Amino acid sequence: MVWFQLGLEHIADIQGYDHLLFVLAMMAPYSFKNWKQIAWLITAFTLGHSLTLALVSLSGPLLSSEVVEMGIAVTILATALYNSSSKATGVAVPIRYALVGIFGLIHGMGFSNYFTSLLGTEHSIWLPLLSFNVGVEVGQIGFALCVLLVQWILIQMLQVSQRSWQLFVSGGAAFVALTLILDRL
Amino acid sequence: MLAELSFYLWFMKKLFIVISIFFVSLVAQAHPFHVGVVEISFNSELKRFECAVKLFTDDTERILRNTYSEGVLDIAGANELPQVDSLLKDYLSNTLELSVNNKALSLEFLGKEGNADAIWAYAFFKAPEPFSTVTVSGTMLFELFDDQKNLIHWQTDEVKTHVLTEEKPAIQLVIQ
């Protein structure tokens, strides 16, 4: 289905890596054994971005695309900083789920910006919207699985500690987020 | 034990810095995307394909300036140069092609409207003879961006969408 593919390609597009970077940062404190937390985090993020993707596509943009892009960079930075300050690895407190959901709202606006630019004028938006969102989801989950696999290799086979991975990924993500923010100012 | 620990921390800090610098070298773009939209429907009364083409204004500005060696055109702006419409018509004639029964149809340009974000160009292709399939080729902006996607929305009683890319620049639509 065309719209499913467009959603999948959009999130997997390496030139628009900010969404993937967020997922990477979000998952940094967790590994395969924390699959429950990961599932809930991804669910929270999905609820957030599905909501704004639909709302904004149907009723029009709430914030300008510049503000949204900046917001996305900020969500990455915030997540990375949160990871760095938190002593707990593999634990997710309720506030984290709430934050991820809120960040999802911002990412969804970014998705909507792209999605609406693809539409023609005489479109019933529902099926394309749904398919696009599912494509985004599948891309996200696929990426999350790849990250977990890489993590597993590093932690189980190369004896890297979860905490080191968490800091390393968060540090890298924070730096990139900073450059994105400076670039989008 | 203490010496090893402090060496370990020193090393991790250095590694952290090196890796962070590596990340920084990934140049941050403001998420540009390259998309064109073509809505096509067939007017059976007038026996012609009617097209509306949406392109991003800044991309159009660039491609017309490059293709026709022009200076600033200010497309859809207050100081738009008079030749813009005819340059656009020429560009679309070369990049948006409809063929029926293996014969290319000729593009008739109606005009355009738009703003600083995007422009909509309107054109039609006369097709007086009966046909069962039409081939649409849309290569707008491919020469500028290798990731350009041109979406074709074929409107009958429903809308069917196809994506044209540099790898697959044409599609054949079957008319019922």
> Per-residue DSSP letters for B62-117?
HHHHHHHT-----TTSTT--TTHHHHHHHHHHHHEEEEETTEEPPEEEEEEEE-SS
In chain A, residues with a C-beta closer than 8 Å to the C-beta of B52 are 120-121
Output the pTM of the full model.
0.84
Q: Which of A20, A113, A121 to mutate to test the interface with B (most CBs of B within 10 A)?
A: A121
Q: What is the ipTM of this complex?
A: 0.83
Closest in A18, A120, A180 to B159, CB measured: A120
Q: Please, which pLDDT band fits residue B135 given cuts at 50, 70 and 90? A: very high
Which amino acid, A39?
A
Confidence of residue B17 (pLDDT cuts 50, 70, 90): low
For A100-140, the pLDDT digits (tens) are 999 999 999 999 999 999 998 867 888 999 999 999 999 99
Cross-chain residue pair A118–B151, CB shorter than 8 Å = yes
Reduced to 3 states (helix: H, G, I; strand: E, B; else coil), residue B149 is strand
Band of residue A12 on the pLDDT scale cut at 50, 70, 90: confident
DSSP class of residue B27 equals P
Task: Tell me if B28 and A176 make a contact (CB, 8 A cut-off).
Answer: yes
Nearest-CA residue of chain A relative to B40? Answer: A120
Q: Other CB atoms closer than 10 Å to residue B81's CB: what's the count?
A: 15
- How many residues in chain B? 176
- Give B102's pLDDT tier (boundaries 50, 70, 90): confident
Domain boundaries, given as residue ranges, for chain B: 34-174
Average pLDDT value for chain B: 87
Residue A124: its chain B contacts at CB < 8 A? 159
How far is B113 from B77, CA to CA, in rounded Å?
A: 10
> Considering only alpha carbons, which residue of chain A is nearest residue B13?
A168
Q: Which of B159, B162, B163 sits opposite A123 (nearest CB)?
A: B159
CA distance A170 to A2: 35
Kindly report the number of other CB atoms within 10 A of residue A90's CB atom: 13
Q: Considering CB atoms only, which of A2, A167, A168 is closest to B161?
A: A2
Determine the Cα–Cα distance for residues A105 and A91; give it in Å rounded to an integer: 23
Nearest-5° Cα angle at B164, B163 to B169: 155
